[in-house]
Amino acid sequence: LKDGTTVVSSEAGILEPENAPAELFKSKGRLGPGKMVAIDLHSGELIENDDIKQKMAVKKPYSEWNKVFRESLPTPDFLGADHDDPVSKAVEEDLITLQFDLGYTIEDTEMVVESMAQTGKEPTWCMGNDKPLAILSERPHVLYDYFTQRFAQVTNPAIDPYREALVMSVEVYLGRQGNIMAERP
């Protein structure tokens, strides 16, 4: 806002229109995926996504470090359909049984493994994925179930920190927290 107040919210309509008319806003917008904003607490400046990334990019010689320290892994030779490797042939002959024994379902194979093999990316799912976390399940899971990412983990309606003060806090600590990751090659 023009008075120096910054409001950040995950929900639209957090400010009542009669309390915050449009002329009070210095800027407003939507933060998209992979985007960020920062506020310089010394100058009060709002720093937007491209400026943050540009400032960070020139701090250290990341491009040079990438050229010097980057290692390329060799691409393995894949077996053709007419190979004569005995271990691979044994696996191929018993593949469905092995997949079942390791916890893969037909759905896992068709929707996840094949999709990853074809696109080279982890498949993305819609919101509303209510599959329980593998770590809390009593049933066995395949290894990758323990490492999946879940997005949009929000509550609806939004959590009310005043009514739920006994079980949550919106307290934020600002200031130096030490060097979590040193910027060096």
- Residues with Cβ < 8 Å from 183, sequence gap 6 or more? 59, 60
Q: Give residue 132's pLDDT.
A: 74
Q: Give residue 76's pLDDT.
A: 75
> Using CA atoms, how far apart are residues 103 and 12, in angstroms rounded to an integer?
42
Following DSSP, what letter does each residue of the chain receive, concatenated?
-TTS-----SSTT-S-TTTS-GGG-S------TT---EE-TTT--EE-HHHHHHHHHTTS-HHHHHHHH--PPPPPPPPPTT---HHHHHHHHTHHHHHHHTT--HHIIIIIIHHHHHHSS-----TT--PPPGGG-SS---GGGGG--------SSPP-TTTTTTT-------S----SS----
Summary mean pLDDT of the chain: 80
The residue-averaged pLDDT of 5-29 equals 81
pTM here?
Answer: 0.41
Q: Using 50, 70 and 90 to split pLDDT, how confident is the model at 130?
A: low
Q: Give residue 142's pLDDT.
A: 75
- Which range is least confidently modeled, 6-10, 65-69, 125-129, 165-169? 125-129
Q: Using 50, 70 and 90 to split pLDDT, how confident is the model at 159?
A: low
Q: Give residue 156's pLDDT.
A: 55
Q: Using 50, 70 and 90 to split pLDDT, how confident is the model at 52?
A: very high
Q: Give residue 67's pLDDT.
A: 92
Residue 3 has pLDDT above 90, yes or no: no
- Which range is least confidently modeled, 37-41, 42-46, 53-57, 133-137? 133-137
8 Å CB contact between 150 and 129:
yes
Q: Using 50, 70 and 90 to split pLDDT, how confident is the model at 158?
A: low
| % pLDDT > 90, the chain | 11
